[in-house]
């Protein structure tokens, strides 16, 4: 909702979270005034006239995105069909600092087990402090909470079994995340977490169709609320980048039964494939979700 967007992106709580949305429309395409107003009011987005057949459009737009994401996303658009009538571009930029930073001098090469057979050496950060953690016996995983300044945290979720990632992903729900938050215990721990950087882009049309969102991409879809002319959506692209290091996180992107307190565990070592969730506490909003299979690869 509009109020959620405003609370997330229009406040200064010690971290940087910015969302910039642009709707590019072919110059000759008439767009309804009420649609433009809704896009502006609800998503703080501006409708911009564009010539998609002009090669300069790509370069200009990519420079715009790179500037907004502090250089994290450099080539948001690889190419654009000259016949495109409308293009929606969303950039999400997050920069957070750890409450408990990882001393750079403690980072060292450490084994990371990719699977039962393969092990790679990765730069492993290390620190000691008071951290919240839990062990979920039902989903067969351990969960660690790393705090950022300003009421945002990263949940690191490590399956007990090297082969347990697919099962964990299939059972991950907002209710499970809420259970983890309620079941965590606070104690002094030594934490080992690999430095990592992820870069990935997706065409979301297939994923949205699989979720049942099909009418939007049908050639007979009703788009009269946008324009009087018939248009078809055939590309829905998302690109995300996240970098985690000793200082904190930079990310960009175009949720009590069976719990045991980790009372006997002093060290939390993230030395196998894991999930991470970046979570805003005031709004209970999940900002980023990702999987790290091999920290040595972007």
Q: Give the model's pLDDT for residue 263.
A: 43
Start-to-end CA distance of the chain, whole Å, equals 33
- Torsion sign across C-alpha atoms 225, 226, 229, 235: negative
At 262 the pLDDT is 37
- Residue ranges of the chain with pLDDT lower than 50? 254-265
DSSP output for the chain:
-HHHHHHHHS--SSSEEEEEEEEEEETT--B-HHHHHHHHHHH--EEEEE-TT-HHHHHHHHHHHHHHTTTS-S-S-S---TT--EEEEEEEEEEEEBSSPPPGGG-EEEEEE-SSS-EEEEEEEEEEEEEEEEEETTTTEEEEEEEETTTEEEEEEEESSTT-HHHHHHH--HHHHHHHHHH-EEEEEEEEEE-EEEEEEEETHHHHHHTT--GGGSTT---TTTBSS-------EEEEEEEE-SSEEEEEE---TTEE--TT--EEE--S-EEEEEEETTTTEEEEEEEES-TT--
User: pLDDT value at position 171?
Assistant: 93
Structure confidence at residue 207 (pLDDT): 80
DSSP 211-257: TT--GGGSTT---TTTBSS-------EEEEEEEE-SSEEEEEE---T
Phi, psi of 276 (to 5 degrees): -135, 145
Q: Which domains does the chain have, with CATH numbers?
A: 2-96+199-243 (3.30.497.10), 98-197+255-292 (2.30.39.10)
8 Å CB contact between 62 and 69:
no
pTM above 0.85, yes or no: no
Residue 143 pLDDT: 95
């Amino acid at each position: 909702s509009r109020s959620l967007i405003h609370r997330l992106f229009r406040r200064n709580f010690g971290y940087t979270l910015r969302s910039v949305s642009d709707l590019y429309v072919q110059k000759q395409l008439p767009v309804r005034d009420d649609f433009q107003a809704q896009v502006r009011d609800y998503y703080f987005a501006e409708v911009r006239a564009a010539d998609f057949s002009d090669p300069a459009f790509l370069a200009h737009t990519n420079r715009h995105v790179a500037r907004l994401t502090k250089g994290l996303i450099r080539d948001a658009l690889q190419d654009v069909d000259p016949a495109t009538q409308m293009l929606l571009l969303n950039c999400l930029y997050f920069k957070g600092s750890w409450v408990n930073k990882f001393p750079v001098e403690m980072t060292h090469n450490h084994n990371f087990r990719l699977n039962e057979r393969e092990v790679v050496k990765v730069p492993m950060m290390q620190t000691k402090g008071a951290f919240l953690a839990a062990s979920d016996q039902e989903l067969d995983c351990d969960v660690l909470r790393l705090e950022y300044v300003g009421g945002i945290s990263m949940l690191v979720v490590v399956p007990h079994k090297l082969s347990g990632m697919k099962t964990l992903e299939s059972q991950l729900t907002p209710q499970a995340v809420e259970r983890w938050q309620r079941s965590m215990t606070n104690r002094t721990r030594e934490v080992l977490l690999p430095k990592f950087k992820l870069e990935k882009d997706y065409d979301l049309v297939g994923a949205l169709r699989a979720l049942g969102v099909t009418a939007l991409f049908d050639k007979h879809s009703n788009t009269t609320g946008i324009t009087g002319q018939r248009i078809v959506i055939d590309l829905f692209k998302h690109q995300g980048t996240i970098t985690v290091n000793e200082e904190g996180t930079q990310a960009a992107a175009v949720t009590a039964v069976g719990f045991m307190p980790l009372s006997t565990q002093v060290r939390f070592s993230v030395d196998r494939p894991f999930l991470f969730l970046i979570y805003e506490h005031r709004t209970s909003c999940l900002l980023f979700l990702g999987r790290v299979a091999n920290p040595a690869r972007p």
